[in-house]
Amino acid sequence: MREFVYASHPARIVFGSGRVAQVAAEVERLGLGRVLVLATDAQKDTAQAVADLLGPLCADTFAGAVMHTPVAVTEQAMDVVSAGRIDGIVAVGGGSTIGLGKAIALRTDLPQIVIPTTYAGSEVTSIIGETADGIKRTQTTPRVLPEVVIYDADLTLGLPTGLSVTSGINAIAHAVEALYAKDGNPIIDMMATEGIRAIASSLPSIVENPGDAAARTEAQYGAWLCGTCLGAVGMSLHHKLCHTLGGTFDLPHAETHTVVLPHALHYNAPAVPRAMAALARALGRQDPARALYDLAASLGAPLSLRDLGMPASGIDEAADLALANAYWNPRPLEREAIRDCIAAAWEGLPPGT
Ligand code: NAD
């Protein structure tokens, strides 16, 4: 048994179909009485439904969250927080809405109850990325960690199929990199393999029938486990590449993770035999990188960075940027091999071709 350090985050997890009905009780349990409900404009009806459940405990709603947590939007929300004498946050939505809640918590230390509706996993991490003047900066601080997470798969039934698939594979990416993290440990390995199994086995049923409540519940359980992995250990090449590609070429978050993952895993494979064996067991295939590519293809997910809008001229730039700021990776960073991976991802070829 290897030596390890394991630190768990102190969040309270409430899991199950219909559990959103418990939101008022959770607000009262935290001793709050004037919460602000956050959402995107697209989910304002969901925000209103949560506000209705909260009744007089809800002081206001703010349905202005957008991707990448722009500071300008946070400042608008902060005005509402001040004017409404808000004493807590209820964020209902995906990583974008949760990011806004974290940005408010960063400035105020207000308690947060999060009701996730995608599989991105931000609700169980102490990571926050904020964008100002076109640059996204990420920091890790326990100040932004939500106090309570309510996982109610009923709220994911309307998540469009395409986003369900890419969001699910985004979650799998957290667990894949956790399996070979420098600061990994056996507890996180268990969560990672179980999370990958749960998501990979439920996505085909979700694509076949988006209203399959059992499959949605299984995927959300997997998303919690995979998000916990992201929050617990360091990420490497895959996350670095996606962050760089997303920021440099303005590519969509979950789709970029979906396209890059098989290639980043193929690159690291020779250096991480233990992780590859665990992935082979979780995915039921001998070649996990190819298995992830085939999973995405079979579910109709995007396979190429070209289709996401990246220009061919960006391949070399991305390879240079991937090596720009030194970071730990299980396999040393080799420019030409990384360039080959990005080129294969750009073309949408299977990993290793
Ligand atoms: P998102 O939150 O941007 O949601 C995408 C769109 O889908 C939005 O319009 C949203 O309103 C809509 N939507 C969400 N759930 C829905 C549902 N159930 N039904 C119908 N529509 C729904 O997407 P995301 O992938 O969850 O989040 C991406 C963002 O989260 C990125 O900015 C990323 O950097 C961040 N993120 C942060 C962390 C972290 O730990 N800090 C982790 C993962 C992702």
- Is the confidence at residue 324, as pLDDT, over 90? no
Residue 46 Cα, ligand 1 centroid: separation in angstroms? 14
Per-residue model confidence as pLDDT tens digits over 11-48: 999 999 999 999 999 999 999 999 999 999 999 999 99
Q: Is residue 2's pLDDT more than 90?
A: no
Q: For residue 43, what pLDDT is reported?
A: 98
Write down the pLDDT at residue 135: 80
- Give the CATH fold of the 12-156 domain: Rossmann fold (3.40.50)
Query: Minimal CA–CA distance to 129: which of 82, 163, 96, 165?
Result: 96
- Cα of 254 vs centre of ligand 1, distance in Å, is 8
In this structure, of 7-16, 178-187, 210-219, the range with the lowest mean pLDDT score is 7-16
- Ligand 1 atom 37, closest CA: 122
Average pLDDT estimate for 239-253: 92
% of the chain with per-residue pLDDT over 70: 100
Written as one letter, the residue type at 33 is G
First-to-last alpha carbon distance for the chain, in angstroms, is 36
Domain range annotation of the chain: 12-156, 161-347
Write the CA distances from 221 to 121, 164, 214, integer angstroms. Answer: 11, 14, 11
For the Cβ of 195 lying below 6 angstroms from any atom of ligand 1, the answer is no
Which residues lie across from 40 on neighbouring strands?
65
pLDDT higher than 90, residue 10? no
Distance between CA 224 and CA 21 in Å, rounded?
Answer: 20
Q: Is the CB of 67 under 6 A from ligand 1?
A: yes
CA 129 to chain centre: 12
CATH number of 161-347: 1.20.1090.10
Single out the residue of 55, 121, 120, 127 nearest to residue 90, CA to CA: 55
The amino acid that residue 259 corresponds to is V
Residue 325 pLDDT grade (very low, low, confident, very high; cuts 50, 70, 90): confident
Query: How far is the C-alpha of 247 from the C-alpha of 122, rounded, in Å?
Result: 18
Residues 40-55: tens digit of each pLDDT? 999 999 999 999 999 9
pLDDT at 20: 98
Q: How far does residue 168's CA lie from ligand 1's centre (Å)? A: 11
Above 90 in pLDDT, residue 8? no
Among protein residues, the one with the nearest Cα to ligand 1's atom 16 is 159
